[in-house]
Structure 1
Amino acid sequence: MLKYTKISLELLTDMLLMFERGIHNGLVQASKRYGKANNYTVEDYNKMKEDSWIINQDCNNLYG
């Protein structure tokens, strides 16, 4: 396709510099293999244990 359109590509090093300047922080992840919630919405709710919830957050600061 590049030969057909006769487009010349920029050097990869120029592209890498653009990405490196834009990176401030890396990926942060805290995960466990197994998680179990204990609250009034689950089937095996145990009132004797402390309530716990499982949430999934996907947060991006696109314009910060």
Structure 2
Amino acid sequence: MKKVIMNLAAALCFVLGIVFAVVPGPSVIFFLIGLTLLAVHYPGARKYLRYCQSTLSKGCQLLDRKLAKR
């Protein structure tokens, strides 16, 4: 039962992420929340979550360097 509820919450987060991708809003946050909920039970989702975390971290570091040069 807990797994079903978490899967439904993850699906809801993904749907909200898609909506906010079209309409201005925090789409990345909802995608990451949905992926985190799925990563609790599915090892494949953990792989994608690690990839997203490292990619976002690298992007933030690059942005910090660009802004520091200003």
TM bracket (short chain): under 0.3
Q: Whose Rg is larger?
A: 1
Q: Provide TM-score, normalisation by structure 1.
A: 0.23
Which TM-score applies when normalising by structure 2? 0.22
Q: Larger relative CO (CA 8 A, sep 6+): 1 or 2?
A: 2
